[in-house]
Amino acid sequence: MQNFKQQILEEAVLTVLSAQVADTLKKHRVGTQTTLEDFDLEKVAVRLPNGIKVASISAVNPDPKPEVDDEDAFTEFVAEHAPDEVITRTVIVTEVRPAYREQLLQAMAKRGAAEVVSSDGGEILEVPGVVMKEGTRTHSVRFEGGDAGRKAVAAAWAAGELRHLTGLRALTAGDADSGQGGAEQ
């Protein structure tokens, strides 16, 4: 039974820590993204206090994605150029078949513009009712050497070498120095 008590305590603690990590990570990602944009940085190295490079953070500039913003104009375009792809429902709603809609949007995403190539003559056709929406800029973290970077971070954490990082202090607030500990039995 003691083993089970420890297991459920660990689950409760991990649940709390998981939520704290998620909240802290969300705040840090916003701050990192702001700094990357403010200083026009595309890629930065992440190093442990001992200088070992463990990861890279890279800006991600998503391609614009097409979005239908005028359903009627879009449907009229498809009705003119691919009438078999338009369906009329009994409630008298005329719309583009979902699969064809997705096919057109994917083709426009590849072109990077609200236009498609006609199937019969290779003519480039502007598609009314579609706008290209810019994606939200973000960034990615890529660890060095597969798991080597992750293992180096974990070892530095376990050795207490990362205690100076302010965003991580909340995760160690319940350590032995706080005088709080133990669980209700």
User: What does the pLDDT profile of the chain (185 residues) look like in tens digits?
Assistant: 668 877 777 777 777 778 888 888 998 899 999 999 999 999 999 999 999 999 999 998 888 899 999 999 999 999 999 999 999 877 778 889 999 999 999 999 999 999 999 888 789 999 999 999 988 888 888 888 878 888 888 888 888 887 777 666 666 654 444 333 443 33
The residue with tokens 């060095």 is 144
Domain encompassing residue 75: 65-133
User: Does 69 share its domain with 125?
Assistant: yes
Which bin fits 40, alpha (ψ -120 to 50), beta or left (φ > 0)?
Answer: left
Per-residue pLDDT, 168: 67
Do the domain assignments include residue 79? yes
Do the domain assignments include residue 112? yes
Give dist(CA 37, CA 130) in Å, integer: 28
Residue 160: is it exposed, middle or buried by C-beta count within 10 angstroms (0-12/13-18/19+)?
exposed
User: Does 76 share its domain with 167?
Assistant: no
User: Does 94 share its domain with 125?
Assistant: yes
User: Does 122 share its domain with 170?
Assistant: no
Do the domain assignments include residue 185? no
Do the domain assignments include residue 33? yes
Do the domain assignments include residue 181? no
User: Does 76 share its domain with 124?
Assistant: yes
Q: Largest alpha-carbon pair distance within the chain?
A: 78
Q: How many domains does the chain have?
A: 2
